[in-house]
Structure 1
Amino acid sequence: MSRPPRTGPVRGAIAEILRQAWPILISSWAGIIFAVLDTAMVGHTTATDLQAMALGASIYITIFIGLMGVVHALIPIIAQHFGARRLDLAGHAWGQGVWLALYLSLIGGATLLFPDAWLSLSGTVDPEVRKRIAWYLLALAAALPAALVFRSIYALSTAISQTRVVMLINVASIGFKLLFNGMFIFGWAGIPAMGAVGAGLSTLVVSWMTLAAGLWMIRRLPAFRALDLRVRRPRWADQKELLRLGLPMGGSYLIEVCAFSFMALLIARDGLYVSGGQQILANLIALCYMLPMSISLSTASLTAQAIGAHDAARAQTTGLSGVLLVALGAAATAAVLVLAQGPIVRAYTDEARVALVALALLQVAPWFHFCDAMHCASAYLLRAYKVAVVPLILQIVALTGVGLVGGWWLGYGPGAGRLRPVADWLMPGAPVGAATMWIMAAAGLGLTSALLFGWYARVLRRTAARLARG
């Protein structure tokens, strides 16, 4: 049975964080490989299928990430119970989380059944593309309950420091995804080729297989059996606790993913080559984000365990150790982004004009990534203390107000061009509009990080006083 780490120096906290973080990182990369497989394999069918999958996937990802954030409220709740050795309550909380995941899948699935409301934002879409999007999203709507319930298992394993088994399930699912993609997209084994719709059907099959593996895992492994995991009748009091924490967490996840989506839509005004360069930078930033995210998530679960154990000193040591690790990792990643810009861009594209734009835009990547990493660390630390509403408000003000709206205002709106001197200094040769959007997005993340760390210091003082009284 895994136990929370003992009170110790920073070195011990760092070792514990890294032990739990690397399986989370590999699981995250496995999720990215799913998307890469779909894009690469559907890309060898027709342009109609590729467009259908690209538009359908953007709709699904927006919905899924928001709902996933709500389910992730289980992590601090279960981790605090686990740290306090309230194993029966930890198991009960997971069962209530399963009900929440099922309720959310009904809402999300119903939304996926009406894609025209989403496609109205994309202008004129060919009727054949619309038809394939509808079938693609229908398959994903059927996959959503399995995906969200498996996320509850993922949250449970993270909360009790049992991340390796979930990692193995996610890695193994890549092979099945490749197999079923070939069968349903290209028509292997005599099955009719279905293109983009086949990619959705493959996700449906693999999602339910992954859930079956996760359920088998929690019934067999001693660390999970000790929690007496059962899905009992839903209780409104428990659902309310999950929603009180989960809704603002889901809102935070949604703001982050929507900010990138709207940036891409605005920068598309600058033409095909700028849009291509922007896509390379956005994809690279997403890949780099997985490292601070995995460290931050590991830090948050271990911090929540310490809070549950009423060990304020260990909670603070773990939290600050995690911040140090994120900062060091972000600095190392930034150095790679500076030194390897040419090889990175050549790995993405052979188109000279896209490569020139990407190289120019990539100059902001080290700064953006560092701000992004520190924002991630601060947000996850606050969630460990079950603080989510204030971070959401701060993110709305800084990320949306400063980053997105400010970027539009100075990049494409009434103030267009006013940030040109900064853009020319920081990103020489980059299109001014796109450069302005990325500079303001980095500024929004930096401001959010500062505000969240300030609030974290306040939470530390209040928690220490509360635990001392208790």
Structure 2
Amino acid sequence: MKPTLTLRQKTKQFLVILLPILITQISLSAITFFDTNMSGKASSTDLAGVAIGSSLWVPLQTGLSGILMGMTPIVSHLMGGGQAKKVAYHIMQGLWLALLLAVAILAVGSMLLPTILDGMKLDAEVRHIAFRFLSFLAIGIIPMFGYTVLRSFIDALGQTRISMTVTLISLPINIFLNYLLIFGNWGFPRLGGAGAGIASAITYWCVFIIAAIFVIRLKPFASFGVFRSFYGISLKVWKELLKIGVPIGFSIFFETAVFAAVTLLMSRFDTITIAAHQAAMNFASTLYMIPLSISMALTILVGFEKGAGRLKDARQYSILGIASAVALSLVTAVVLLVAGHYVAGLYSDESSVIKLTQHFLIYAIFFQISDAIATPVQGSLRGYKDVNPAFIITFISYWVIGLPVGYLLATFTGLGAYGFWVGLIAGLAAGAVLLLARLIKVQRPKQESPAAAASA
């Protein structure tokens, strides 16, 4: 990355950073998409089982990965401040922390998962599929967390095309393994939704191994010597990473967990409703990769400019990113309005599931508009290392407003399952307003450093 002077230069650098991130995020999301989509083609029971399993796993995975994503602004600030020699040491500390988090979640999950599933009162077959899906997926937890650290390093250097390449190499592996293991093709056992868990776990191992090879051998990563020396655990660096990463992780956890909570609460409805809800939510999550990618690009760019003391440039990147997200959200809204029936047909061949999924997708339109504001704003705030207020705002918006409103509407009005979606929309809208207000406060004009002023 390099300093930019004009809007045209900023737009070009923004797109250079953003587009590979977007392709990467869509590809990573496609792993879950194909797990859900191909399981749905097996049966609505398999789709429901994967839906329950994903709803338990995704909040934990994204929340803990969010902690490790704190490495991105740390590396961006180190590079912007001319402290590249410290990067390798910090990356190794991130990998140690990733290993600890993975082992902890495996230990806790092995003890609590049967009890959690038993308490949900699921159909026996749905419960069986969910348990096997999660058990197989657990094989890939360690490499997945490790890859999060390596990707944060890669992206913070502005080399987002490398992350894109890693993911694009791995995605066909996931699809092919799903083809073999979900449907039992080429002599493999027909495992249904549970087979998607094995496919994803193997894919995560491939992603980590490929990323590690790139970090060791390719420029500019090789010059940092990330794996060249052995570094013991540094609680001081862990404290620095956790100080930034924990609020990021909890913010992401509260956001993803509220959607998972809704899916779990919908277990009181029939299997068709669970399957349709998950199909619509899965597609909405795929569209969410657009504002999420913009958010990640803004964390890198704003962090780089903030680390160099160029506050005006950081503000300009924030405006550029948020405006782009809003414009793209209007495009996705049109897609859902015009092609909702075809989107629903991607997930099931059962007419009842398709019809109900199409109805849920209408509500997803409003998700996109709120996400287009809230998510890039969070990315900008992370670039400023201003993470604690966003954590509080996210909790209030989703868990004090969104989920309670959704539960009340679903339980005490005629909206039924749709009531949960209305509640989520209310929470997302509240979060967008509050987060934008926080960013405006953080970006109030401040005296720039003499060096930055001189360079301008």
**How much has 1:321 moved relative to structure 2?**
1.0
Counterpart check, 1:86 vs 2:69:
no
**Residue aligning to 2:393:** 394
Q: For the Cα contact (< 8 Å) 2:70–2:241, is it kept in 1?
A: yes
**Residue aligning to 2:435:** 452
Flag the 1:197–1:451 CA change in 2: closer, same or farther, 3 A: closer
Deviations 1:386-436 (A, max 9, x none): 122111111111121111112222332xxx34xxxxxxxxxxxxx623443
Counterpart check, 1:205 vs 2:202:
yes
Counterpart check, 1:216 vs 2:217:
no
Counterpart check, 1:76 vs 2:59:
no
Counterpart check, 1:245 vs 2:232:
no
Flag the 1:118–1:327 CA change in 2: closer, same or farther, 3 A: same
| 1:152 alignment partner, one of 140, 149, 154 | 149
Structure 2 CA distance for aligned equivalents of residues 259 and 244 of structure 1 = 23
**Residue aligning to 2:425:** 442
Structure 2 CA distance for aligned equivalents of residues 205 and 196 of structure 1 = 15
Counterpart check, 1:433 vs 2:431:
no
Flag the 1:467–1:434 CA change in 2: closer, same or farther, 3 A: farther
Q: For the Cα contact (< 8 Å) 1:112–1:138, is it kept in 2?
A: no
Structure 2 CA distance for aligned equivalents of residues 290 and 74 of structure 1 = 20
The one-letter amino acid paired with 1:397 is I
Counterpart check, 1:336 vs 2:335:
yes
**1:48-87 counterparts in 2 under 5 A?**
53-87=50-84
Question: What runs of 5+ residues in structure 2 fail to find an aligned partner?
Answer: none
| Backbone CA RMSD of aligned residues | 3.0
Q: Which 10-residue stretch deviates more, 371-380 or 344-353?
A: 344-353
TM-score by length of 1: 0.85
**Residue aligning to 1:427:** none
Deviations 1:227-282 (A, max 9, x none): 33245112111001111111121111111111112223444555555545433432
Counterpart check, 1:170 vs 2:161:
no
% identical equivalent positions: 26
The one-letter amino acid paired with 1:13 is K
Structure 1 CA distance for aligned equivalents of residues 62 and 147 of structure 2 = 14
Flag the 1:400–1:54 CA change in 2: closer, same or farther, 3 A: closer
**1:281-320 counterparts in 2 under 5 A?**
281-320=280-319
Flag the 1:117–1:469 CA change in 2: closer, same or farther, 3 A: farther
Q: For the Cα contact (< 8 Å) 2:48–2:271, is it kept in 1?
A: no
Flag the 1:185–1:294 CA change in 2: closer, same or farther, 3 A: same
Give the number of aligned pairs. Answer: 449
Q: For the Cα contact (< 8 Å) 2:276–2:353, is it kept in 1?
A: yes
Q: For the Cα contact (< 8 Å) 1:147–1:207, is it kept in 2?
A: yes
Structure 1 CA distance for aligned equivalents of residues 147 and 47 of structure 2 = 28
**1:224-239 counterparts in 2 under 5 A?**
224-230=221-227, 232-239=231-238
**Residue aligning to 1:95:** 92
**How much has 1:121 moved relative to structure 2?**
3.6
Deviations 1:316-374 (A, max 9, x none): 11111111111111122223333434444455555554444444444333332101221
Structure 2 CA distance for aligned equivalents of residues 229 and 174 of structure 1 = 26
The one-letter amino acid paired with 2:29 is I
Q: For the Cα contact (< 8 Å) 1:9–1:317, is it kept in 2?
A: no
Structure 2 CA distance for aligned equivalents of residues 119 and 18 of structure 1 = 44
Structure 2 CA distance for aligned equivalents of residues 337 and 45 of structure 1 = 25
**Residue aligning to 2:7:** 10
**1:32-51 counterparts in 2 under 5 A?**
32-39=29-36
Structure 1 CA distance for aligned equivalents of residues 76 and 244 of structure 2 = 14
Structure 2 CA distance for aligned equivalents of residues 341 and 242 of structure 1 = 42
**Residue aligning to 1:117:** 115
**How much has 1:296 moved relative to structure 2?**
1.6
**Residue aligning to 1:254:** 253
The one-letter amino acid paired with 1:460 is Q
Q: Which 10-residue stretch deviates more, 131-140 or 401-410?
A: 131-140
Question: What runs of 5+ residues in structure 1 fail to find an aligned partner?
Answer: 418-430
Flag the 1:409–1:189 CA change in 2: closer, same or farther, 3 A: closer
SS in 2 for 1:432: coil
Flag the 1:16–1:138 CA change in 2: closer, same or farther, 3 A: same
